[in-house]
Chains A and B, each alone.
Chain A
Amino acid sequence: MALALRLENVTKRYDKTLAVDDVSFTAEPGRLFGLLGPNGAGKSSTIRMITNITTPDSGSVTLGGEPVGPASQARMGYLPEERGLYKKMKVGEQLVYLAQLKGLAAPDAERAVREWLERFGAADWYGKPVGDLSKGMQQKVQFVSTVAHDPELCIFDEPFSGLDPLNAEVLQETIVDLRARGKTVVFASHRMEQVERLCDDLCLISAGRVVLRGTLPEVKGRYGRDTATVEFDGADGWIDRLVEAGAMRVLSRSNGRAELRLGPGTRPNDVLGAALAAGVEVSQFGLHAPPLTEIFRMAVEAGESAPPAEPVPAP
């Protein structure tokens, strides 16, 4: 049973602020869908409507063709950005309770919870009060609460925030595994490097509107290969000279490495030539599409300068 999530012309208004403005997108089963946007863009408002915590003023949200409601809530798992559990309740008791609220019978819930804790190497937490666990451990418990009832649609809002790299890795593997099992996964974040690494499709919203939408290769393909990554050994004064001349912008720069966005009239050879002329040892020079962070920035700026949402082809 694979269920696609579809939003059509969804609008939500709080008082006088338009939180979500005519948003449409589809998240397909077996794919990782990235819902991106700066803080306050309307991600959480959108997710609240998907999870049926609030209802849209207009437009529709459907899961597998059915409007979302109590029935669809049981088939969703939601990991909110602001985590929270009952601190005094024991881990197992709490997870079983939350799974029961999603419609699982007590024995099934207990079996699933034990399996998931086992998988995270946390079987011996079962009888411990949540408040006694470290923050990272609590995050894992909350993650289990999101997936223990085997939902068809998983929504993760900033799932990796506050996790150490090792635990983030475990979580990422689990998310990829959910995708492989045909689940619909929605992943909300403003951490572009994670989105770039994981997502199949993405939708960028800014000020409540969709400003960019498509599959990851599609979106990246819309921008040329105008970004150069240079690795070199030596002084980096040549970079500043090129920037001052208006030939390019620096996206990131560290000791012996720079990511450069070339201006319209600048050829890659100009950059490489300048580096060589400065007498530095270039160990690597590569050309590629701009990173998502940069695309994100441009799209937001374009969205702000051109108020009506730019026409974007549906994925």
Chain B
Amino acid sequence: MNKTLLIARSEYLRRVLTKGFVLGVLLAPVGMVLLIALPLLTSLISSDDGERRVAVLDESGQLYQAVAEAVPERFAVERAAAPLDSLRAQVLDERLDMAIVLPPSLLTGTGDATAYTRAGGGLAQFDDIRSGVRDAVRGVRLREVGAPAEVQAVLDERPGLQSVTVTDDGDAADGAFVASAIGYVSGFVIYFLVFIYGAMVMRGVIEEKQNRIVEVMASSVRPFELLMGKVLGIGAVGLTQIALWTALGAVVLAALGPLLAAFAGPPAAAGPGAPPADLPFDVGAITALLTPGFLLILVLCFLGGYLFYAALFAAVGSAVEQESDAQALTIPVTLPAIVPMLFLFPMLEQPDSSLSVVLSILPPFSTVLLPVRVAVTDVPFWQIALSLGLLAAAFVGAIWVAARVYRVGILMYGKKATFRDLAKWVRTA
């Protein structure tokens, strides 16, 4: 067997056949889901933590009944008998959660209601009280001016906005939202995977140098074979992870789709504090976007970006003896990688601006931004081809430079290498 392949296979198996890898593949998505679901869950839980006692000091004399009816049920509303000072004291020693003062000026449209609470009450409660007070004031005033019930009904309506994306294949409901979300997630996933696996290459190189096995390896294979074997082996680990995630995602989506639909189906099921009855996206819209072509671009961008950064990371790793020494040298590698993250939102908003077009073609930024742009807009084929072609040229160049640094660096011990040294190694190697 070819030595590069032998090395790649060993590097691959050494990493994939570990509990850490299996756990990482399984737990990372679980962690991500938890990260999204946890705030939702806690808000559900915290809304059930008993009633909030609210005293209403109605100085207008006309609003109490309407407010008491308009605020959600989890507020236990009572009419305040005491003056404001004593209400404040009750809030302080926790006999009350909130005191609301409704001044007469509310009825003339010139004043504001005031809510007194202890620190740390959370913002959601104010939203509920605010809209309750608004509805109550509006209702009382409408009645006062003698507005007909039809006007009141019209004002109570809450029409929504449905988004539909028009494509050659037909209309897709909620397309814009889903496309942005997918573009955003794709950009992040590529960014993280490229970095996780690039850094893994660097650690591998440092480890070989640190425990001195590199001397034995160099007496058996050419440094370039060792470098490429390692880069390809670890890249294959990354691809395995992507493949497993895709498979896992497909299974979860297939299983969860009907479940979500059932959950969202009967609007009556949505209790207070539950997510809005209509989900902000359509499961069908996701699957419509995740075409084989898009997935192929995703994989190619990961591979291109990975090869580019992994080569540079390997060069840095070969120049140091400990991971802690690598920090200063990795900055020039990691800094340009942050750039696409800064342009992620402008790219989602204006995917066809000339800046977006350039960034999606220019390596190494294109590794993150091309998939983002492809997700949210129709990118001409020539731009995709040019972008991937330039990316290929960039990683070939990066590997060429890295190989020259690497073959000198792995045998250097003792002194800390500087950029000047690295530049010299590239010239003289």
Residues of A within 8 A of B (CB): 48, 51-54, 70, 73-74, 76, 78, 80, 82-89, 97-98, 100-102, 142, 145
A-side interface mostly: loop
Residue pair B213, A76 in contact (C-beta under 8 Å):
no
Which of chain B's residues 160-212 have a Cβ closer than 8 Å to chain A?
Answer: 208, 211-212
Residue pair A73, B216 in contact (C-beta under 8 Å):
no
B291: interface (CB < 8 Å): no
Q: What residues of A have a CB within 8 angstroms of the CB of B208 in the complex? A: 84
27 CB contacts below 8 A, A to B, read: A48-B411, A51-B218, A51-B219, A52-B219, A53-B215, A53-B218, A53-B411, A73-B221, A78-B215, A78-B216, A78-B219, A80-B212, A80-B219, A83-B212, A84-B212, A85-B211, A86-B14, A87-B211, A88-B14, A97-B10, A98-B216, A100-B6, A101-B3, A101-B7, A101-B217, A101-B220, A142-B216
Q: What residues of A have a CB within 8 angstroms of the CB of B3 in the complex? A: 101
Residue pair B220, A84 in contact (C-beta under 8 Å):
no
Residue pair B216, A84 in contact (C-beta under 8 Å):
yes
Closest chain B residue, CB of each to CB of A79: B216
Residue pair B219, A53 in contact (C-beta under 8 Å):
yes
B214: interface (CB < 8 Å): yes
B149: interface (CB < 8 Å): no
Residue pair A84, B10 in contact (C-beta under 8 Å):
no
B1: interface (CB < 8 Å): yes
Residue pair A84, B213 in contact (C-beta under 8 Å):
yes
Q: What residues of B have a CB within 8 angstroms of the CB of A145 in the complex? A: 216
B222: interface (CB < 8 Å): yes
B interface residues, tally (CB under 8 Å): 20
Q: What residues of B have a CB within 8 angstroms of the CB of A54 in the complex? A: 411
The complex places the Cα of A84 from the Cα of B7 at a distance, in Å, of 17
Residue pair B213, A73 in contact (C-beta under 8 Å):
no
Which of chain B's residues 209-244 have a Cβ closer than 8 Å to chain A?
Answer: 211-222
- Tell me the minimal C-beta distance from A81 to chain B in angstroms: 9
Closest 4 CB pairs between A and B? A84-B212, A84-B213, A51-B219, A84-B211
Q: What residues of B have a CB within 8 angstroms of the CB of A89 in the complex? A: 14
The complex places the Cα of A52 from the Cα of B411 at a distance, in Å, of 13
Given contacts A73-B220, A101-B221, contact A86 B213 (CB under 8 A): yes
The complex places the Cα of A88 from the Cα of B214 at a distance, in Å, of 15
Residue pair B213, A85 in contact (C-beta under 8 Å):
yes
Closest chain B residue, CB of each to CB of A146: B216
Contact code string B2-15 (vs A, CB < 8 Å = 1, else 0): 01001100100010
Residue pair A80, B215 in contact (C-beta under 8 Å):
yes
Closest chain A residue, CB of each to CB of B211: A84
- Tell me the minimal C-beta distance from B210 to chain A in angstroms: 8
Which of A52, A53, A54, A102 neighbours the largest number of chain B CB atoms within 10 Å of its CB? Answer: A53
Q: What residues of A have a CB within 8 angstroms of the CB of B216 in the complex? A: 78, 80, 84, 98, 142, 145
Q: What residues of A have a CB within 8 angstroms of the CB of B218 in the complex? A: 51, 53
Q: What residues of A have a CB within 8 angstroms of the CB of B10 in the complex? A: 97
Q: What residues of B have a CB within 8 angstroms of the CB of A51 in the complex? A: 218-219
Q: What residues of B have a CB within 8 angstroms of the CB of A84 in the complex? A: 208, 211-216
Closest chain A residue, CB of each to CB of B221: A101
The complex places the Cα of A100 from the Cα of B2 at a distance, in Å, of 10
Residue pair A76, B212 in contact (C-beta under 8 Å):
no
The complex places the Cα of A73 from the Cα of B215 at a distance, in Å, of 13
